[in-house]
Structure 1
Amino acid sequence: MDTTRPDDAPSADEHTAGSRSPLVEHVAVALLAITAVLTAWSGFEASKWSGEMSISFSRASTQRIEASREATTAEAARAVDLQVFGIWLEATSEGNHELAEFARERFTDHFAPAFDEWLATRPLKNPDAPRSPFAMDSYVPPGRVEAAEADARADAYFADALADNQRGDNYTLLTVLFALVLFFGALSNRFGSERKSWTILVGAGVLLLVGVGLLIFFPKII
């Protein structure tokens, strides 16, 4: 009796593959379609946050330049005040009251109040008096406040840029996660065993759910 199997008889693997439920393929297709859309969305968000990061860095740089310009203005005003105060100080020490008064009349509007406040502390007799009018809190040359404000704005923009960069990185990692889902979803159809296919699909589904949860949690730019 001839026990050999005819060439056209189906193998065990072919029989298993042929009997596999079409539900596996339907689920895999749905999984791949959803993941493809979410992958594209994640890439879009990563690109948008990268653009926001560049804008924030640019704004921070602009404010740094503004702060430097205002600081230069303040230093120039301080230099003028130092020169005129030096003339007054030298004339006063020499007893040249006419020159001292001449110099005092030319004190700037922002220096004169600090000078008067400094004189009121009796610096020649009071050892606790400030060393000069420039040490008084009331001495605020033009540009100092503006420079500090510009620096503060630059710091805020820089912090925003770092936050935007992290958000872009998060979406990039999310894209990688969805790529894994696509890989496992496509791999599920390569197995002859339905059990193995479902195992791969369940794993891919878990990764998809994790990715969707993160996508909902992450801030978005629409």
Structure 2
Amino acid sequence: MRSASEDGVQVADGGSGSRSGSGDTGTAAGRDAARDTPGGVMELVTVLVLAVTTILTAWSAFQASKWGGAMSIAFSEASSTRIEAARSEATANARQSNHIGLWTQWVAAEGAGEVQLGEFLVERFPEPLSSAHRDWLAAGGASEGAPDSPFAMASYVLPERLAAAAADERASGRFEAALVNNQRSDNYTVLTVLFAAVLFFMAMAGRVRGRRSQWVLLGTGLVLAAVGMTLLTTFPKLV
């Protein structure tokens, strides 16, 4: 037969086990309830927004850097094309100066009655002076109402001058592209600052104690994040 003291010990142990089991169950239930509280929801939302905003901040900084590089390349191309246009223009001016000298000698020969010299010079007129000179003579030459010289004729077109005009137009296009790329880089820089502000408000929401202040900071951060994401979808991307 068991003694009364042994029965008492077993009863006491059973009571302790019951209290321990009920205590563990209560702790787990408390943790589940904590996750379901408004504070737990706020913490979850804050963590998610912080993670997404961190990625978007890095992406915006990357895009700002890429568009800044594109701007530098476009400016460099515009500068080199301007130099090309200036070189072609200088070549065209030099050729036209030679043509003017030849044609002036022909005028002097015609004025002095030196027909053979005039014919000699005309035979050696380079293009487009040769074609323009014929067109000028057909238009009346030195008669009243005719064009002043072959250089005023539509047929007098120097290829170098056309190349200079085309290069100048390309340079203007690259310069405009550089300005556009610069603005896009600035837009992404502003977007990076906006997402940094979101990170700030989210971090502060987890530090203040007042529940109202937490929701205000969280709401402000969510609004800024929504604005930033909307702008991000409208901005062009460069990979």
**Could you tell me how far apart the structure 2 residues matched to 1:21 and 1:81 are?**
88
Residue 136 of structure 2 corresponds to residue 99 of structure 1: no
Bigger fraction of residues in helix: 2
Q: TM-score, normalised by structure 2?
A: 0.82
Counterpart position of 2:141? 123
Counterpart position of 1:172? 189
Match of 1:21, SS state, is: helix
**Could you tell me how far apart the structure 2 residues matched to 1:87 and 1:49 are?**
57
Alignment of 1:172-191 (within 5 A): 172-191=189-208
Quick one: which amino acid aligns to residue 95 of structure 2? Answer: A
| Contact 1:73 1:142 (C-alpha < 8 Å) held by counterparts | no
| Contact 1:111 1:141 (C-alpha < 8 Å) held by counterparts | no
Equivalenced residue count is 203
Q: TM-score, normalised by structure 1?
A: 0.88
Quick one: which amino acid aligns to residue 194 of structure 2? Answer: L
Quick one: which amino acid aligns to residue 192 of structure 2? Answer: T
Match of 2:144, SS state, is: coil
Residue 212 of structure 2 corresponds to residue 212 of structure 1: no
**Could you tell me how far apart the structure 1 residues matched to 2:78 and 2:174 are?**
5
* Structure 2 alignment gaps of length 5 or more: 1-36
Alignment of 1:1-222 (within 5 A): 21-127=39-145, 129-222=146-239
| Contact 1:20 1:194 (C-alpha < 8 Å) held by counterparts | no
**Could you tell me how far apart the structure 2 residues matched to 1:67 and 1:123 are?**
33
**Deviation of the 1:166 alpha carbon:** 0.3
**Could you tell me how far apart the structure 2 residues matched to 1:23 and 1:80 are?**
85
- The one of the two structures with greater contact order (alpha-carbon pairs below 8 A, sep at least 6) is 1
Q: CA RMSD in A?
A: 1.2
* Structure 1 alignment gaps of length 5 or more: 1-18
Tell which structure's C-alpha radius of gyration is larger. Answer: 2
**Could you tell me how far apart the structure 1 residues matched to 2:116 and 2:61 are?**
76
Match of 2:166, SS state, is: helix
Match of 1:143, SS state, is: helix
**Could you tell me how far apart the structure 1 residues matched to 2:158 and 2:205 are?**
73
Aligned residues with identical type, % of pairs: 48
**Deviation of the 1:136 alpha carbon:** 1.1
1:170-198 Cα offsets, whole Å, 9 max, x none, are 00000111111011111111222222211
Quick one: which amino acid aligns to residue 100 of structure 2? Answer: L
Q: 1:140 to 1:58 in 2, by over 3 A?
A: same
| Contact 1:77 1:142 (C-alpha < 8 Å) held by counterparts | no
Quick one: which amino acid aligns to residue 44 of structure 1? Answer: F
